Amino acid sequence: MGATNCPETPRQRMIGMMYLVLTAMLALNVSKDILNAFSTVDEALTMSTQITNKGISGFQRKLALEKASQGEAKVKNAEIMVNEIVRESDQLVDYIEKMKVELLIAVDGTEKTEDGKIKTANDIKSKDNISKAHRFMFGEDKALNSGKAVDLRKKIEAYRNKILSFVKPEGRQIIGDQIGLKVNENYKNKDGAPENWEVHYFGHQIMIATYTLLNKTIGEIRNAQSIMLNYAIGSTTADDFKFNQIQARAIPVSQMVFQGDKYSADVIVAAFDDRQSPEVYYRMGADTLISTEGATRLDGQNGIVKLEIPAGSPGEQKFAGFIRVTKPDGTQTNYAFKDKYTVLKPSATVAAEKMNVFYANIDNPVSVNAPVAPDKISINLTGGGTATKTAPGNFNVRVTDAMVGRTVTVNVSAESGGRTAQMGGTVFRVKRVPDPQARIGGNYTGGRVSKNDLLANPFINAQMPQDFAYQLQWKITAYQVIFNVKGMEDTPITVQGGAFTETLKTKIKNAIPGTVIIFQGIKTSSEAGPRSLNEITVRIK
C-alpha cells in the first residue's frame, strides 16, 4: 500500500506485482479459470506472510542475545518497544482474520468446508459475487463512507501512527516510507477521479478479490511489524558506531620547529569506517560552525576526508567546521572541530612586479621585510588609499572603487639610529574584486540534478574562484526562480535571502522529471560591494 513516490521494500514490490495481476484479471471478462487463478495469488500471499512470520519469531531470540551481551538496562526500552509492536500488530491481524470469517459467512453462507476446516480462497463457492461482498464491506451506504472497509482503514491508520511513534523524529520519514500502509494517500479511479483507499481497493469488488486483498493487507502488516522490530532491536546499538579499520596516527603539536626547540606529537590509534563517505564543512576565520551557510564542503572517500587549505597571507590562520557521519540507525550527526595554523613567509621572496594587485573595498594584507626589527617598519601610500598596521611588519591596505584601474605605491620606511630611513617602494595596480560564482547547496552550478540532491542542502550561496587567495564571504540577498515544465514557464518566485522558502521546497518536491528550474537575478553582497551573479539552470532527473 506504499504510494508510488515512496521507496518500497522487495517484499512490497512483490505484493504490488501480485495485485497488478489481480486487477488485470478483474479487467477481463472473468471466467472460472481466472477466478480460480485468484486462489493461486492468495496462496502466494499467504506463503509470503508465513515466511515473514518465521522471521518475526526470530526477533525475540535476537533481543535475548542483545540483553545477554549488552545488559538488561541498555535493551529495556527496546524490549518495551518490541512488546508494544507485537501486541498492536497481532490485534490488527486478529481483527482482519475475524473479518475474513464474517465475509465468508456473509457471502458463502459458512466459513467452513464440509470437513469442518476454515475455508481458503480455493474453497470459496461464490468467488464472483459482487453485491454481497460490497454490501459486507460498506453496508447499504451508497456514499461509500461507512462500513467495515472504512473501519479497517481507520484501524490501519491508527496502527501506523502508533508504531511510528516509537521512531525518533529524524528517522520517522525513512521508516514510514519503508513500512508503507499509507491509507490516506491520494488514489484515483480508472477515470482519473480521486477516491479514498477503501473504495479504491474494496469498492464493488468480487468476493475472491476482496478476500485476497484482506490477506494482502495482513501480509503488509506483518512486513511493517518486521521492519519495526528490526528498528527496535537496532536501536539498542543505534549510537554505537561500527568501525572496520584501525590505524596509528601521529598528531603533531606543531609542524613548525625552530632550532633549539623540540618536535612534539600525540601518537594515537584511530578507528574509522571505510564504507562511509562522510561530508566535511568548514569556514576560514571561524571559531565555530553550526550550519553549512557560507561554508566550504569536502566529500570523503573510504571513510577519510582530506582537508587542504591554501596557505595565503602570512600569519596565524584559524578555521572551524564539522564532519557529518551516518549512525547505524540511519540518522546523521555532526561532530565539530576547529584548529589554527601559522603561515610563514619564506625568507627569500621573488615578486612578479607586474602582478602586484590591490583589490578595491577589501583588506589587502601586506607583509614587509627589512633589515630592521619588524616593529620599526612603517608604510605610507602614494596615489590614494589607507594602511592600517595589524602586527609588527604587517599591514592592511584598503583602496576604493574610484581607484580601480589606477596604481598605488607602497613606500616603506624604518626607524634606524634615531632617524627614519626610506627603504624603497612597490607599485600595485588596483583591481575590482572578481565576481563570485553562485552555487546551489555549495555544490551545483547547473546540469541534471535529482530532487533529493537539490533539497539536501536547500540554499544558494556564492563562492569565490579557487585561485582567489582572499577569505571573502558573500551573502545572498535575493533571487528569482522560474519553473519550466514541458516548455511552459510558471510565474517567477521571488526569494529573499539565500535559503529556499517552504513554497520553493514544495514546488521542487512536486516537480516531474524533465522540469527545468532557472535560478536567476541572484543578488549578493560582501564588503567588496553588491553584485549580480550568473544564473543557474538545472533539470530534474
Per-residue pLDDT of 366-406, as tens digits, reads 888 776 667 788 899 999 899 999 988 889 999 999 999 99
Rounded to an integer, the average pLDDT of 164-181 is: 84
Partners of residue 412 on adjacent β-strands? 379, 424
pLDDT band for 484, please (50, 70, 90 cuts): very high
The DSSP code for 531 is E
Q: Given this model, what pLDDT does residue 153 score?
A: 87
Coil, helix or strand at residue 126: coil
Partners of residue 462 on adjacent β-strands? 438
Q: Given this model, what pLDDT does residue 416 score?
A: 61
Q: Given this model, what pLDDT does residue 518 score?
A: 95
pLDDT band for 256, please (50, 70, 90 cuts): very low
pLDDT band for 62, please (50, 70, 90 cuts): low
Ranges for all domains in the chain classified under CATH 2.60.40.10: 353-431
Which pTM was predicted?
0.41
Contact residues for 518 (Cβ-Cβ < 8 A; gap 6+): 481, 482, 484, 535, 536, 537
CA dist list (Å): 123 to 60, 95, 111, 133: 35, 21, 10, 16
Point out the least confidently predicted range of 115-119, 185-189, 191-195, 231-235.
231-235
Say what percent of the chain tops pLDDT 90.
Answer: 21
Rounded to an integer, the average pLDDT of 193-209 is: 83
Rounded to an integer, the average pLDDT of 53-64 is: 57
Q: How far apart are CA 534 and CA 523, in angstroms?
A: 9
pLDDT band for 166, please (50, 70, 90 cuts): confident
Q: How far apart are CA 57 and CA 187, in angstroms?
A: 34
Check residues 279 and 447 and name the one with the higher pLDDT: 447
Partners of residue 394 on adjacent β-strands? 367, 391
Q: Given this model, what pLDDT does residue 307 score?
A: 78
Rounded to an integer, the average pLDDT of 420-448 is: 88
Highest mean pLDDT among 39-48, 255-264, 434-443: 434-443
Q: Given this model, what pLDDT does residue 353 score?
A: 60
Q: Given this model, what pLDDT does residue 257 score?
A: 39
Cβ count within 10 A of residue 123:
16
Q: How far apart are CA 26 and CA 19, in angstroms?
A: 11
Report the CATH superfamily, name and number, of domain 353-431. Immunoglobulins (2.60.40.10)
**Cα of 116 vs its chain's centroid, Å:** 55
CA dist list (Å): 403 to 92, 105, 365, 410, 433: 78, 94, 18, 15, 12
Does the pLDDT at position 71 exceed 60?
A: no
User: What average pLDDT does the chain have?
Assistant: 77
Please report the beta strands in 222-278, taking only residues with DSSP state E, as ranges in sequence order: 245-252, 265-272
**What CATH fold (topology level) applies to the domain 245-343?**
Immunoglobulin-like (2.60.40)
Does the pLDDT at position 253 exceed 90?
A: no
CA dist list (Å): 276 to 123, 175, 301, 302, 410: 53, 21, 7, 6, 51
Pairing of strands 194-195, 187-188: antiparallel
